[in-house]
Structure 1
Amino acid sequence: MADHGTPGTWDLIVTPWHLDEYIPAFPIPATATAAIRPALPAGSVAARMSLLHQAAADVVTQAARPLVLSGDCPTSRAAVAALQRRHRDLAVLWLDAHGDFNTPAISTSGYLGGMALAMLTGRTPDLFDETLGLRPIPDTSVVLADARDLDPAERDSLTTSHVHRVPADPAAITSALGRLGPVPVYLHLDIDVIDGAELPGARFPSGPGPSLAQIGECLAAACASADIAAAYLACAWLPEHVNAQNSRQTITRLTAALGAGLTWPEPADG
């Protein structure tokens, strides 16, 4: 994937998976440059995810400025590991209704999707093999926006961490990114950060929250104030809703806020 030399240019990569489960209905934009569909052998969920993440990282590494559409948050491991292959230092802006800061030791459900940010900060060292070469992101380089829906132990873990907590507000995000200094930023957004009333069919709706319009403003503000080296949208709808018209419209609006042009394939006749 060549560098087009334009700051607003994105390489759109799709990983149509939720953990180790392939999502056949996941929408693939016509403007996508790659879709990650490795054949995963039988095995544990973590082992299968490791293979998926390696395949995704290999593709993301080739992208000049990757924009990943995924069905979950943990595949962020692949995106960050790929960025670290060309950036020594990296900051993370994570917009999510949840903290994703659980670990196997404190999670009440064991759900790996609720551990994604903890994975990036080195809090889950025994979950996956070391093939990605992922280096832990320091807490002080992480900005977590919104996170209104936290488990009690997860809340305690965040409180004792050095993660920067901010509301999903453009000015707050701009200020927090400014305090990190001139470092490349990985921008991660889980669609459930948006008010649940605007997200029919979300896997994990979290009730009232910022509007889609406000989240779009947050993305635009981040792009205007920081060096966004890569972006990632976790399109965490239920499989039967992920390809619905309103879901695709939400993806289109969010990518537009990032400055990405996205088009969908024409529907098949008949």
Structure 2
Amino acid sequence: MTVILVPYHLDEHLPGLRALLPAAVEPTTVNADFREGDVWSRLGDVGVRTAQAVAETAHGNPVIVSGDCSTSMAVLAGLQRTGIDAGIVWFDAHGDVQTVETSASGYPGGMPLRIITGYRPELIAERLGLKAIAEDRALLVGARDLDPPEIAYLGEAKIRQSKIEDVAEHLPPGPLVLHIDADVIDSDQMPGLRYPVGCGPSVEDVVAAAGRVLATGRVVAVDIACTWFDEAPEWTRASLLSALLAEAAWT
């Protein structure tokens, strides 16, 4: 199993992320050389390097571990470079379908799924070489904290939606990227999340659901977003990563 470590939350370096991986895992680490510019430019710096690392390992079913959901755009772009046209299964408590125009915070980590399905490619997709996927090739799983603009958009969009327990019944066709944001887990079970949401599934439920997606044999990459603060309990974070990596070790 190839593990690609992207130790950043947006453009914030996360040196402690490596220590949470099992000792036996020797990841390929993406190191950014940030240019001057806005956050989209700096995200592009990380993303270009991530896409290249994914492209170099695309046929080995890579697992990408990063600090936020924006890495998913580079994962898809890297696969596309090698001719793998993948849909995406998006485990997340949030919709991540905000736009620059609708987001109250302007947080780029709340926009990746919208960008993946075609929103404003000039922001970052063009630099990554990311080609938009059709909305019905994206499945949003476990989302329960949606802002009004996201509710309005999803009410009209063709993005599929599913509960964790029903994920295997709603998968898009073809090869898939499995994206898992740690905050899909109930915040009582995963303390220290940057954007905690309650009333969600347990760690065990999420790992089991990921296993059902992987069991289809159609997953070509797993993208794990470790959206927590460094102060979060280390044993909890390390245990989750170990469990997901064990499920993902299908090669």
Residue aligned with 2:143, SS: strand
- Is residue 254 of structure 1 aligned with residue 248 of structure 2? no
Q: Aligned residue for 2:106?
A: 110
- Is residue 86 of structure 1 aligned with residue 82 of structure 2? yes
Which residue of 184, 188, 193 corresponds with 1:193?
184
Q: Distance in 1 between matches of 2:65 and 2:13?
A: 14
User: How far did residue 215 of structure 1 move?
Assistant: 0.6
Q: Distance in 1 between matches of 2:80 and 2:31?
A: 23
Which residue of 34, 45, 49 corresponds with 1:51?
45
Asked if 2 retains the 8 angstrom alpha-carbon contact of 1:185 and 1:226, the reply is no
Q: Distance in 1 between matches of 2:123 and 2:42?
A: 12
Q: Aligned residue for 1:224?
A: 215
Bigger Rg over Cα = 1
Spell out, residue by residue over 1:165-220, the C-alpha distance to the aligned partner (whole angstroms, 9 max, x if none). Answer: 11011xx211112xx33x11011000000011111111110012011111111111
Q: Aligned residue for 1:135?
A: 131
Give the % identical residues: 34
Q: TM-score, normalised by structure 1?
A: 0.86
Spell out, residue by residue over 1:201-254, the C-alpha distance to the aligned partner (whole angstroms, 9 max, x if none). Answer: 11110012011111111111001124100001100101333x712211111112
Which residue of 50, 54, 65 corresponds with 1:60?
54
Structure 2, gaps ≥5 residues long: none
User: How far did residue 126 of structure 1 move?
Assistant: 3.2
- Is residue 238 of structure 1 aligned with residue 229 of structure 2? yes
Residue aligned with 1:119, SS: helix
Q: Aligned residue for 1:147?
A: 143
Divergent runs of 4+, >4 A: none
User: How far did residue 260 of structure 1 move?
Assistant: 6.3
State which drifts further: 39-48 or 17-26: 39-48
Asked if 1 retains the 8 angstrom alpha-carbon contact of 2:188 and 2:198, the reply is yes
Matched length: 246
Q: Distance in 2 between matches of 1:218 and 1:32?
A: 26
Distance 1:260 1:22, change over 3 A: farther
Which residue of 70, 91, 98 corresponds with 1:95?
91
Q: Aligned residue for 2:198?
A: 207
Q: Aligned residue for 1:32?
A: 26
Asked if 2 retains the 8 angstrom alpha-carbon contact of 1:87 and 1:184, the reply is no
Asked if 1 retains the 8 angstrom alpha-carbon contact of 2:115 and 2:125, the reply is no
State which drifts further: 30-39 or 223-232: 30-39
Residue aligned with 1:222, SS: helix
Q: CA RMSD in A?
A: 1.6
Q: Aligned residue for 2:5?
A: 14
Structure 1, gaps ≥5 residues long: 1-9, 262-270
Q: Distance in 2 between matches of 1:100 and 1:134?
A: 17
Residue aligned with 1:98, SS: coil
Q: Distance in 2 between matches of 1:249 and 1:95?
A: 18
Residue aligned with 2:224, SS: strand
State which drifts further: 216-225 or 35-44: 35-44
Residue aligned with 1:147, SS: coil
Asked if 1 retains the 8 angstrom alpha-carbon contact of 2:35 and 2:45, the reply is no
Q: Distance in 2 between matches of 1:132 and 1:39?
A: 15
